Amino acid sequence: MKVLTVIGARPQFIKAAVVSRAFAEHGSSITEVLVHTGQHYDANMSDIFFEELEIPRPDYNLAIGGGTHGQNTGRMIEKLEELMIQEKPDWVLVYGDTDSTLAGALAAVKLHIPIAHVEAGLRSFNRKMPEEINRVMTDHISTMLFAPTGVALKHLEKEGVGSEKIHVVGDVMCDATHYYKSRAQKPAWFDGLGLQTNQFALCTIHRAENTDSPTRMKDIFKGLQLAELPIILPLHPRTRSKLKQSMLAIPGNVHVVDPLGYLEMNWLEANCKLICTDSGGVQKEAYFHGKACVTLRDETEWVELVDRGVNVIVGASPELIAGAMKLNQKLNFDDPLYGDGRSAAKIVDLLLNRSSVNS
Ligand code: UDP
């Protein structure tokens, strides 16, 4: 079986790390051709993940990044189509909801190559998010849809996706957290900040709905200031450039650092008091590490976390952000909401079974 995998953004490197390892465990019966679109290209947004997570070097790097959604997606489709014609894969594998996901899926479907979509069925029901458009479109042209949760399965069924195409396998990010936990690394600068473990918040901000709105950014930082807790903020390049443009002052309790590798990020997740984020992946990682999550969005795809009371949706309201960050409840993180850490192996087995039925 030959699989052409399309990745391009930070969360996709992390998801692909565990699935590529599961492919490799099958030896020569599976050939994976890894294509990096170049969507994320900075060393600390891309190379570090390949090194730390021991992801095989991409077979192709398309170096397409830095443009608008339309420019990037169009250029990716053109290049990916060429590669798919040349490589003739049995499957095209895409992850999540980025422009690279959609480009891979659109190039494949027109060539009649079956698409496997990991993290299928997620919905925010906010069509202003580029991610929502990418995931809805990808789900509807995929042949095998790997849904992380029962909620995702229900979304797909409601939209008329045939249930024979959908497999609830858990979340590969849960696999990644388990696998790399023992290698978590304290950042070299941590002790210099004079912070105690479990007494600081870890924050990430990168969603366009926040970074592209100077008002929301101002309100979020106001909320972080009101929280009166030391906060570590690894700053995404998009957020950094928007902050520079708006000349917004960073409150004194917020320690801005460069984007981190996965192992340092995991150490901070494991050792913080709570997490405050607009990231999809980091909301789940908060749960894996048993930390409360304050979500800087108006909705989330990971609704089971909100239902459990471990995740509070606060949008960009300074009062709600500060209020939620000051809460000190005892929370329950015991239920395995995202599978047993073997999602990647399940995905690979399902692909192999399906391929043997087809051949
Ligand atoms: N992450 C990281 N370093 C950082 C910030 C995030 O390694 O400085 C990891 C994080 O642990 C998670 C993933 O990146 O595994 C989440 O990616 P991101 O927030 O960029 O995307 P999203 O999950 O929102 O699609």
List, for residues 180-194, the tens digit of each pLDDT value: 999 999 999 999 999
More confident call, 356 vs 139 = 139
- For the cut 90, the answer to whether the pLDDT of residue 208 exceeds it is yes
Q: Give the 3-state DSSP-derived string for the chain, with helices as H, strands as E and coil as C.
A: CEEEEEECCHHHHHHHHHHHHHHHCCHHHCEEEEEECCCCCCCCCCHHHHHHCCCCCCCEECCCCCCCHHHHHHHHHHHHHHHHHHHCCCEEEEECCCHHHHHHHHHHHHCCCCEEEECCCCCCCCCCCHHHHHHHHHHHCCCEEEECCHHHHHHHHHCCCCHHHEEECCCHHHHHHHHHHHHCCCCCCCHHHCCCCCCCEEEECCCHHHHCCHHHHHHHHHHHHHCCCCEEEECCHHHHHHHHHHCCCCCCCEEEECCCCHHHHHHHHHHCCEEEECCHHHHHHHHHCCCEEEECCCCCCCHHHHHCCCEEECCCCHHHHHHHHHCCCCCCCCCCCCCCCCHHHHHHHHHHHHHHHHC
- Asked if residue 246 lies in contact with residue 214, where contact means CB atoms within 8 angstroms, the answer is yes
Q: Which residue has a Cα nearest atom 25 of ligand 1?
A: 280
What separation in Å is there between the alpha carbon of 121 and the centre of ligand 1? 20
What separation in Å is there between the alpha carbon of 14 and the centre of ligand 1? 8
Q: Which residue has a Cα nearest atom 23 of ligand 1?
A: 281
Which atom of ligand 1 is found nearest the CA of 278?
Answer: 24
Residue 176 belongs to a domain? no
265 lines ligand 1 (CB under 6 A): yes
Which atom of ligand 1 is found nearest the CA of 281?
Answer: 23
Residue 177 belongs to a domain? no
Residue 331 belongs to a domain? no
Which atom of ligand 1 is found nearest the CA of 96?
Answer: 25
Residue 90 belongs to a domain? yes
Q: Which residue has a Cα nearest atom 24 of ligand 1?
A: 279
262 lines ligand 1 (CB under 6 A): yes
User: CB 356: neighbour CB atoms within 10 A?
Assistant: 9
Residue in 262, 282, 338 to alter for ligand 1 test, most ligand atoms within 8 A of Cβ? 282
- For the cut 90, the answer to whether the pLDDT of residue 358 exceeds it is no
pTM of the model: 0.97
Residues 196 and 313 placed together within one structural domain of the fold: yes
Q: Which residue has a Cα nearest atom 13 of ligand 1?
A: 11
Q: Which residue has a Cα nearest atom 9 of ligand 1?
A: 262
What separation in Å is there between the alpha carbon of 281 and the centre of ligand 1? 6
| Band (359; pLDDT cuts 50, 70, 90) | low
Residues 141 and 212 placed together within one structural domain of the fold: no
Residues 290 and 321 placed together within one structural domain of the fold: yes
187 lines ligand 1 (CB under 6 A): no
Residue in 10, 204, 284, 299 to alter for ligand 1 test, most ligand atoms within 8 A of Cβ? 10
Q: Which residue has a Cα nearest atom 7 of ligand 1?
A: 262
Residues 104 and 233 placed together within one structural domain of the fold: no
Total domains present in the chain: 2
Residues 156 and 30 placed together within one structural domain of the fold: yes
Strand order in the sheet with 231-234: 254-257, 231-234, 201-204, 274-277, 292-295, 311-313
Average pLDDT across the chain, whole number:
97
Domain of residue 196: give its range: 186-326
Query: pLDDT tens for residues 15-55?
Result: 999 999 999 999 999 999 999 999 998 999 999 999 999 99
Residues 307 and 248 placed together within one structural domain of the fold: yes
Map tokens 């969507």 to a residue.
39
- For the cut 90, the answer to whether the pLDDT of residue 239 exceeds it is yes
Residue 257 belongs to a domain? yes
User: Looking at residue 281, which CATH number applies to its domain?
Assistant: 3.40.50.2000
Segment 198-214 mean pLDDT: 97
What separation in Å is there between the alpha carbon of 266 and the centre of ligand 1? 10
Q: Which residue has a Cα nearest atom 3 of ligand 1?
A: 260
Query: pLDDT tens for residues 44-65?
Result: 999 999 999 999 999 999 999 8
- For the cut 90, the answer to whether the pLDDT of residue 355 exceeds it is no
Residue 334 belongs to a domain? no
Residue 334's pLDDT is 95
Residues 315 and 343 placed together within one structural domain of the fold: no
Residues 162 and 110 placed together within one structural domain of the fold: yes
Residue 357's pLDDT is 78
Residue 50's pLDDT is 97
14 lines ligand 1 (CB under 6 A): yes
Residues 51 and 106 placed together within one structural domain of the fold: yes
**Catalytic residue (one of 36, 155, 167, 206):** 206
Residues 241 and 270 placed together within one structural domain of the fold: yes
Task: From 145, 179, 169, select the one nearest 159 (Cα to Cα).
Answer: 145
Residues 253 and 155 placed together within one structural domain of the fold: no
287 lines ligand 1 (CB under 6 A): no
Segment 251-272 mean pLDDT: 98
Residue 85 belongs to a domain? yes
Query: pLDDT tens for residues 61-103?
Result: 999 988 999 999 999 999 999 999 999 999 999 999 999 999 9
Check if 206 is active-site.
Answer: yes
Residues 305 and 254 placed together within one structural domain of the fold: yes
Residue 223 belongs to a domain? yes
Rounded to the nearest 10°, the torsion over CA 229, 230, 234, 240 is 80
314 lines ligand 1 (CB under 6 A): no
